[in-house]
Amino acid sequence: MILNQGLQQLVSDVKDDMTNGEAGTSTDLFSKNDTGVKTVVGSTDITLQDKTSSRFTINVTYLLSTSLGNGSDITEFEVNDGSIAYNRIVKPAFSKTSSDELTMLHTFDFEAV
């Protein structure tokens, strides 16, 4: 059994480990065997804009600025620790131009079962 205090510490530790996000262009659906973004858009593995936590939830914000990812149809995204991915999501394509800033928000909810 995980006690609330232990779960809160786990959330805090994971939050501390999450440092970066990365964008890509693969349209392959995600699976539990994914190891991160499949088709990386160069120079998009950057520091997260923001990360907050409350009790058993972590919220992260990844900001792809006007100078990154231009000319790409962004379809996938991950949160990582600089090398190991915590997740991979696939979404409809967003045609990124230098006029766009793309913000991706992700929420991680923890629960003891």
Q: What is the pLDDT of residue 16?
A: 97
List the structure tokens of 22: 């990365």
**Averaged pLDDT for residues 50-72:** 96
Inter-residue contact 43 to 92 (CB < 8 Å) = no
3 pLDDT band, cuts 50/70/90, is confident
- Is 96 a residue whose pLDDT tops 70? yes
Domain boundaries, given as residue ranges, for the chain: 4-109
User: What is residue 6's three-state secondary structure?
Assistant: helix
Tens digit of each residue's pLDDT (9 = 90 or more) over 30-59? 888 888 999 999 999 999 999 999 889 999
- Is 1 a residue whose pLDDT tops 80? no
Inter-residue contact 100 to 66 (CB < 8 Å) = yes
Residue 18: phi, psi to the nearest 5? -70, 120
